[in-house]
C-alpha cells in the first residue's frame, strides 16, 4: 500500500498545506487564566514541520461563561491574543499552517477543579442533558452577543495571521446543543422540530465568521452526530436529513466540513460504507476532513478512562482517501503523544510508533 496520497499538497482559499494530515483539536488545559504560554507555542511548533494543518485546542470566545476550565485558552483579551500571536509566528517559522478552533462550551458538567465561570453556564434551554437542568436558557440578546463574539474571534484569527479558522460545532457543546432536540426545547426561532430549524444559531455564527474574515479565508466547521452526553444520538438519520442540515451551513459560508467520528471507518447510514466525511463531501460538494482512531486501535473517550491504544495500520484510511471520500485526515492522540508520528509513518519506521496511554495527557511535550 502506498502512502503517497497522504503526502500530496492541498490548497483551498487561504490554505496551502504540504500534506493531507491535520492535527486534530485537543484541549490541553495548559493556559493559566486563559493565556497560552511559551510552552504551548513550543508544543505546536514541534509538530509544525511535519503536519499539513494544525488545528488548535478549543479556545473560547468572549462570553462570561464560554468555558468551565480556567486553563483552557481564551481567544480574546490582549494577553491571550499575544500568546496566540506567539503560537502562530512560531508555527509559521517552522514551516507549518494553523487554524484556531473557536469554542463556546454551552452547558457542561462543572470542572473537576471546582472552578466556576463568572456567570451561569448558558445553553438553548438550560439543560445539561435531556431532562436535567445545568444552567440558564439564553435570551435572544445572549444569542446575538454570542454570534457577535464568534465574529470577533474570527476577525482576530485573520489579524494575527492564522491560515484559517475552525468553528467548534460538535461533541455536545453550545452550537451542537442547539442542533440537538434532546436539550434544545426552545419555542422561538432558535428551536423547532426539524434539524434545519435548530441550525439557526450555527448558520448565524457561520455568517458572522464569514463576514469577519472575507471570502478568501478558509472557514472550517467541525460537526459530529454523537454527543459526549450520548454516543448514540444521530442528528441526521438519513442522507436527505443530512443534506438539509449541511447545505444551509455551506451556503452560509462553510468551506470545509470536519466530520468527527470516534472511529472513522464506521458507515454513517445503512446501504453504503461511506463515513460522515464521505457523505458531507458527497452531499455538499465541499472538501471534508475525517477523524477518529486513525493509526490507533482504540477510541479516544475510552482513552480518557485509561484504556491504552496500540498502533494500527492505515490501509482502510488510504483506501477511502484514494477513493476520494474526503480530502484531509485529522489525527489526535497519535500526534499528541509523538510530534514525529508523521515522519515515522512516512519513512515506515513502524517499530518506533508508540502506544497511546493516558499518561501522555499530563505533559505538553
Binding site for ligand FMN (CB under 6 A): 24-27, 57-58, 101, 168, 170-171, 222, 260, 291-294, 296, 299-300, 331-334, 361
Smallest gap from residue 220 Cβ to ligand FMN (A): 11
Smallest gap from residue 104 Cβ to ligand FMN (A): 12
Smallest gap from residue 18 Cβ to ligand FMN (A): 20
Residue whose grid cell is 470566545: 61
Residue 286 cell numbers, joined: 465541499
Residue 232 cell numbers, joined: 448514540
Cα–Cα distance measured from residue 357 to residue 352, given in angstroms and rounded to the nearest whole number: 15
Smallest gap from residue 117 Cβ to ligand FMN (A): 17
102 vs 274 by CB, closer to ligand FMN: 102
Residue whose grid cell is 440578546: 141
Whole-Å CA distances, 85 to 89, 98, 145, 156, 286 = 6, 12, 25, 10, 29
| Of 56, 158, 42, the residue nearest 94 (C-alpha) | 42
Smallest gap from residue 140 Cβ to ligand FMN (A): 27
Cα 191 → chain centroid? 23
Q: Give helix 78-93 / helix 140-160 axis angle, nearest 10°.
A: 40
44: annotated active-site residue? no
CB atoms within 10 A of CB 99: 27
- For the chain, the straight-line distance linking the first and the last C-alpha, in angstroms and rounded, comes to 31
173 vs 217 by CB, closer to ligand FMN: 173
Segments of 138-238 assigned E as strands: 164-168, 218-224
136 vs 361 by CB, closer to ligand FMN: 361
CB-based closest residue to ligand FMN: 332
Cα–Cα distance measured from residue 174 to residue 237, given in angstroms and rounded to the nearest whole number: 21
126 vs 336 by CB, closer to ligand FMN: 336
Smallest gap from residue 123 Cβ to ligand FMN (A): 17
6 vs 186 by CB, closer to ligand FMN: 6
Smallest gap from residue 311 Cβ to ligand FMN (A): 12
Cα–Cα distance measured from residue 365 to residue 279, given in angstroms and rounded to the nearest whole number: 35
CB atoms within 10 A of CB 243: 17
Cα 235 → chain centroid? 17
39 vs 140 by CB, closer to ligand FMN: 39
Identify whether the C-beta of residue 258 lies closer than 8 Å to the C-beta of residue 223: yes
| Of 336, 337, 278, 290, the residue nearest 314 (C-alpha) | 290
Please tell me whether residue 307 adopts helix, strand or coil conformation: coil
Instruction: Catalytic residue, from 43, 44, 173, 190: name it.
Output: 173
Please tell me whether residue 254 adopts helix, strand or coil conformation: coil
96 vs 126 by CB, closer to ligand FMN: 96
Q: What are phi and psi of 21, to 5 degrees?
A: -100, 130
Catalogue the active-site residues.
173
Amino acid at each position: 500500500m502506498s502512502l503517497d496520497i497522504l503526502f500530496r499538497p492541498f490548497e483551498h482559499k487561504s490554505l496551502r498545506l504540504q500534506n493531507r494530515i491535520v492535527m486534530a483539536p485537543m484541549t490541553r488545559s495548559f493556559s493559566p487564566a486563559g493565556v497560552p504560554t511559551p510552552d504551548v507555542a513550543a508544543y505546536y511548533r514541534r509538530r509544525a514541520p511535519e503536519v499539513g494543518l494544525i488545528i488548535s485546542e478549543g479556545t473560547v470566545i468572549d462570553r462570561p461563561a464560554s468555558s468551565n476550565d480556567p486553563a483552557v485558552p481564551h481567544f480574546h483579551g490582549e494577553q491571550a491574543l499575544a500568546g496566540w500571536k506567539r503560537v502562530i509566528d512560531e508555527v509559521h517559522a517552522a514551516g507549518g499552517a494553523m487554524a484556531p478552533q473557536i469554542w463556546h462550551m454551552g452547558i457542561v458538567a462543572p470542572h473537576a477543579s471546582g472552578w466556576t465561570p463568572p456567570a451561569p453556564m448558558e445553553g438553548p434551554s438550560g439543560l445539561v442533558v435531556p431532562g436535567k437542568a445545568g444552567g440558564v436558557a439564553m435570551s435572544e440578546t445572549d444569542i446575538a452577543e454570542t454570534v457577535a463574539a464568534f465574529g470577533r474571534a474570527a476577525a482576530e484569527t485573520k489579524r494575527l495571521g492564522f491560515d484559517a479558522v475552525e468553528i467548534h460545532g460538535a461533541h455536545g457543546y453550545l452550537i451542537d446543543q442547539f442542533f440537538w432536540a434532546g436539550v434544545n426545547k426552545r419555542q422561538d426561532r432558535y428551536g423547532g422540530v426539524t434539524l434545519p430549524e435548530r441550525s439557526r444559531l450555527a448558520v448565524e455564527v457561520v455568517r458572522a465568521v464569514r463576514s469577519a474574515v472575507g471570502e478568501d479565508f478558509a472557514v472550517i466547521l467541525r460537526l459530529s452526530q454523537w454527543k459526549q452526553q450520548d454516543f448514540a444520538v444521530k442528528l441526521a438519520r438519513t442522507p436527505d436529513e443530512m443534506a438539509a442540515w449541511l447545505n444551509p451551513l455551506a451556503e452560509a459560508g462553510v468551506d470545509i466540513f470536519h466530520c468527527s467520528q470516534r472511529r472513522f471507518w464506521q458507515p454513517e447510514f445503512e446501504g453504503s460504507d461511506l463515513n460522515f466525511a464521505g457523505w458531507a463531501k458527497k452531499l455538499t460538494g465541499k472538501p471534508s476532513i475525517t477523524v477518529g482512531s486513525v493509526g490507533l486501535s482504540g477510541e479516544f473517550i475510552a482513552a480518557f478512562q485509561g484504556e491504552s491504544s496500540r498502533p494500527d495500520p492505515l490501509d482502510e484510511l488510504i483506501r477511502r482517501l484514494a477513493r476520494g471520500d474526503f480530502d484531509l485526515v485529522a489525527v489526535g492522540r497519535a500526534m499528541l503523544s509523538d510530534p514525529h508520528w508523521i515522519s515515522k509513518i512516512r519513512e515506515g519506521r513502524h517499530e518506533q510508533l508508540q502506544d497511546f496511554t493516558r499518561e501522555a495527557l499530563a505533559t505538553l511535550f
